[in-house]
């Protein structure tokens, strides 16, 4: 076997049909069938159209409700605060924004997942009861801001 004798496996390659290139290329319709919208140039179908069958987005029922007035809080856990404690002992909102934990418009709620060993002062909009307990057991303070 030499490089110039290599060939792809039999049946693994095939040549594309050259459609719409005259009578010799396989007929006058170029694989588009006879007449109808799909045979014409410029044809486009509505998104989700299923050939006249009731489309999926209309077959399924509507459900749910989104309350536009609800204020969502970004959850920050104790294990994240422990990592931040290595950079500083006072963890304010601005400190969390600077370290990429929250966005500048986020409301923050501190939750109790993980373990906090460092003594830190934490500022947030809300705290869970377990988070406050853990922060105070470590010798820190939890300050709620408006």
Listed by start position, the domains of the chain span 73-144
pLDDT at 111 over 80: yes
Residues in the chain: 146
In this prediction, residue 75 carries a pLDDT of 96
Instruction: Please tell me the CATH code under which domain 73-144 is placed.
Output: 3.100.10.10
Confidence at 94, pLDDT banded by 50, 70, 90: very high
C-alpha distances in angstroms, 122 versus 46, 81, 85, 88?
A: 54, 9, 10, 11
pLDDT digits (tens, 9 = 90+) for 98-109: 999 999 999 999
Distance CA 34, CA 37 (A): 10
pTM beyond 0.85, yes or no: no
Whole-number average pLDDT of the chain: 92
Q: How confident is the model at residue 137 (pLDDT cuts 50, 70, 90)?
A: very high
In the predicted model, what is the mean pLDDT of residues 55-77?
A: 94
Q: Write the DSSP assignment of the chain as a string of letters.
A: --GGG--PPTTS--PPP-TTS-GGGT-SSTTS-SSSGGGSTT----TT-BTTBPPHHHHSPP-----TTPPPEEEEEHHHHHHHHTT-SEE-HHHHHHTTSS-TT-EEEEE--S---S--EEEESEE-HHHHHHHHHTT-EEEE--
pLDDT per position as a tens digit, 3-48:
999 999 999 999 988 888 888 887 788 888 899 999 999 999 999 9
The pLDDT assigned to 25 comes to 80
User: Which residues are CB-neighbours of 5 under 8 A, at least 6 positions away?
Assistant: none
């Amino acid at each position: 076997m030499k490089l110039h004798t290599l060939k792809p496996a039999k049946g693994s390659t095939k040549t594309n049909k050259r459609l719409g290139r005259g009578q010799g290329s396989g007929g006058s319709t170029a694989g588009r069938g006879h007449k109808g919208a799909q045979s014409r140039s410029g044809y486009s179908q509505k998104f989700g159209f299923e050939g006249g069958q009731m489309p999926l987005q209309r077959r399924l029922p509507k459900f749910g409700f989104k309350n536009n007035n609800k204020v969502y809080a970004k959850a920050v856990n104790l294990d994240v605060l422990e990592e931040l404690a290595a950079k500083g002992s006072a963890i304010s909102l601005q400190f969390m924004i600077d370290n990429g934990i929250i966005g500048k418009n986020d409301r923050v709620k501190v939750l109790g997942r993980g373990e906090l060993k460092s003594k830190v002062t934490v500022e947030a909009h809300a705290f869970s009861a377990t988070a406050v307990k853990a922060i105070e057991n470590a010798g820190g303070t939890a300050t709620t801001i408006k």
